[in-house]
Amino acid sequence: MYVDAHCHLERDTYGDELEAVIERARAAGLSHFVAVGASGVSAGAREVVALAETHPFVWAAVGIHPHDAGRTSSAHEATVAGLLAHPKVVALGEIGLDYYYDTSPREAQRDLFARLLAVGRDRDVPVMLHVRDAHDDTFALLDRVGLPARGGVVHCFTGGPREAHGYLARGMMLSIPGVVTFRNAGPLREAVAEAPLERLMLETDCPYLAPVPHRGKRNEPSFITATAEAVAALKGMTGAELGEATRRNALRFFGISA
């Protein structure tokens, strides 16, 4: 069995196929999904909570993506903070820094990230981080603001051993995407091989980053089995064993009953 610890299941992406996508994932052995609503400022958060309400095996993470930091208002932040009390919401995220696209000014990203980290800390809700080309600033903010007692996870972790050590030293989890199957992902594979198994989760980040042999296709949660096989090879396990171990990690971290 598997948990997809970070997937995007918006109707705008999958349309009328959404239920079929979910059913394929269930048939592939997924027991739970953590669907993320962090797009469109707070609109994505409302959509993902509605999805979780209608599917007992779907749980929600709500946040504001750093891409939207430049157009975020206090009302948007209040909407997301309010949704954290919903019984199907298990994390605050994705939140963080993206210096690759720089869609929003970096100062606005840092300010929003600090405010949302403080919300997560004050509410003691696990935080789910988006970090791209911004690890050092992320470390600095984590050290200044602090993590919730329940900790945090770096979603779609694609760094190497240095970056992995920085997050692990701060007590965080690493969520591994299909990028681990890519030919040029040597540093990521090295980091995954070194990381303690109990600190790893699996995710698709669908509809993005489909793993080999599906690369180039629209990603979906059922493809997580390919990522499990790749990580399992690094850990000397079978894909099913790795899937079950990371499933237990995810359920424990998010506070989801099996």
Q: What pLDDT is attached to residue 200?
A: 99
Side chain identity at residue 232, one-letter code: A
With a cut of 90, say whether residue 32 has pLDDT above it: yes
Task: Please report the pLDDT score of residue 8 as a whole number.
Answer: 98
Do the Cβ atoms of 49 and 42 come closer than 8 Å? Answer: no
Q: Is beta strand 30-37 parallel, antiparallel or unpaired with respect to 2-7?
A: parallel
Cα angle at 255 between 251 and 258, to 5 degrees? Answer: 45
Q: What pLDDT score was predicted for residue 258?
A: 74
pLDDT for 132 beyond 90: yes
Q: Is the pLDDT of residue 161 over 90?
A: yes
Mean pLDDT value across residues 32-44: 94
Confidence of residue 185 (pLDDT cuts 50, 70, 90): very high
pLDDT at 123 over 80: yes
Q: Is the dihedral of CA 106, 12, 35, 49 positive or negative?
A: positive
Q: What is the pLDDT of residues 187-219, one digit of tens each?
A: 999 999 999 999 999 999 999 999 999 999 999
Per-residue pLDDT of 79-89, as tens digits, reads: 999 999 999 99
The CATH code of the domain at 2-254 is: 3.20.20.140
Q: What is the token pair recorded at 108?
A: 């606005």
